[in-house]
Amino acid sequence: MGLIAREIEAAGLPTVSMTSAWDITEAVAPPRAVYFHAPLGHQTGPAGEPDTQRDLVARALEAGVSIEQPGEIRALDLRFPDATGWEATAYTPEAIPMSPDGKPNRGAPREPRA
């Protein structure tokens, strides 16, 4: 992500990356980024919530215009609206569907959480 953003910027187009993984984004060093505290893959908001998604993208664009320090990651003052505590289960083996051979089956539908 950072390498691509830097190349796009070298061609004269500004970029802003959206992330939900601060440490990974810091390591790849895009020119500017915004962080949203959410499960990986949900940096533009929860599925099925277009109003939240539009708000997040608008905030990211606003931050992208105002970030002056190269490499800055700005945290958006928002939280993922999941009262079930996704942090506790999102990256555990129990949350990853497994295929019959014992390997993660990332394309499988997940069971709904109670």
pLDDT, one tens digit per residue, over 34-54 is: 998 888 888 888 888 899 899
Give the whole-angstrom CA distance, residue 58 versus residue 80.
16
pTM of the model: 0.70
Best CA proximity match to 110, nearest among 88, 91, 90, 95: 95
> Which letter does DSSP use for residue 69 in this model?
S
Q: Is 8 exposed, middle or buried (0-12, 13-18, 19+ CB in 10 A)?
A: middle
**Residue extents of the structural domains in the chain:** 2-95
Section 69-76 average pLDDT: 92
Section 88-106 average pLDDT: 64
